[in-house]
């Protein structure tokens, strides 16, 4: 979810472009994203090997907190970067994918949830070649996508807590599944918005090579 870039719009083409505060890679927000990525194998080991669910929940909670924190820092400290626009959502997707697969293996979530979420990411992956032909490496993160990632990242620790037993854990499971369902719906909604934006870029802008030749 994390940080979003600063947008400008081309009045003639209606295409969203992106500006950045810095081209540096080593910024505080990017460092938090890297730490979040490093937490993935730790979480997988905790939930699949040692079965230390309590510690696994803490790792997931820390990942969700760092995702919110890196966005706040990027905006307030003016550290929105080109690398961050790619690194942050990549870290989010890797966390979501690894978490749902691990929880499926443990029997905490059903296989259909994994299929639905992975299918959405495959939809986005299929758009990358089209974007590259128009000189784009990625699309700015939409607020619907941010909301989806927020719901999913906070649903998983709650669902895992609900797997610990009855009583108060049942409440955690119910709330966690509410977040998971809403997050899945928003995840697909954002995916369709990205698909529409990709198609608009592809059908409106000429190929990047031809634009470079015109400039020359």
Identify the CATH assignment for 6-215 out of 2.30.30, 1.10.3470, 1.20.1420, 1.20.120.
Answer: 1.20.120
DSSP readout, 38-78? HHHHHHHIIIIIS--HHHHHHHHHHHHHHHHHHHHHHHHTT
Closest C-alpha among 101, 139, 100 to residue 123: 139
pLDDT in tens, 90-140: 888 888 899 999 999 999 999 999 999 999 999 999 999 998 998 887 787
DSSP 8-state class, residue 25: S
pLDDT in tens, 12-56: 334 445 556 666 778 888 888 888 889 999 999 999 999 898 899
Q: Where are the domains positioned within the chain?
A: 6-215
Arithmetic mean of pLDDT, 162-169: 81
How confident is the model at residue 80, as a pLDDT?
74
pLDDT in tens, 141-152: 788 988 998 899
How confident is the model at residue 68, as a pLDDT?
82
């Amino acid at each position: 979810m994390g940080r979003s870039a600063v947008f400008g719009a081309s009045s003639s083409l209606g295409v969203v472009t992106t500006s950045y505060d810095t081209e540096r890679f080593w910024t505080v927000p990017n460092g938090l994203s890297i730490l979040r990525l490093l937490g993935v194998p730790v979480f997988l080991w905790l939930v699949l090997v040692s079965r230390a669910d309590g510690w696994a929940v803490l790792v997931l909670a820390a990942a969700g907190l760092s995702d919110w924190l890196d966005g706040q820092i990027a905006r307030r400290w003016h550290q929105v970067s080109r690398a961050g626009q790619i690194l942050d959502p990549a870290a989010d997707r890797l966390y979501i994918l690894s978490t749902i697969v691990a929880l499926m293996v443990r029997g905490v979530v059903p296989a259909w949830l994994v299929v639905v979420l992975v299918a959405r990411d495959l939809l986005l992956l299929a758009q990358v070649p089209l974007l590259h032909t128009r000189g784009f490496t990625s699309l700015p993160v939409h607020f619907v996508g941010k909301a989806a990632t927020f719901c999913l990242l906070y649903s998983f620790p709650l669902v895992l807590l609900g797997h610990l037993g009855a009583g108060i854990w049942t409440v955690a499971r119910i709330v966690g599944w509410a977040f998971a369902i809403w997050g899945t719906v928003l995840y697909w909604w954002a995916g369709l918005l990205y698909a529409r934006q990709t198609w608009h870029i592809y059908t409106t802008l000429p190929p990047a090579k031809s634009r470079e030749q015109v400039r020359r």
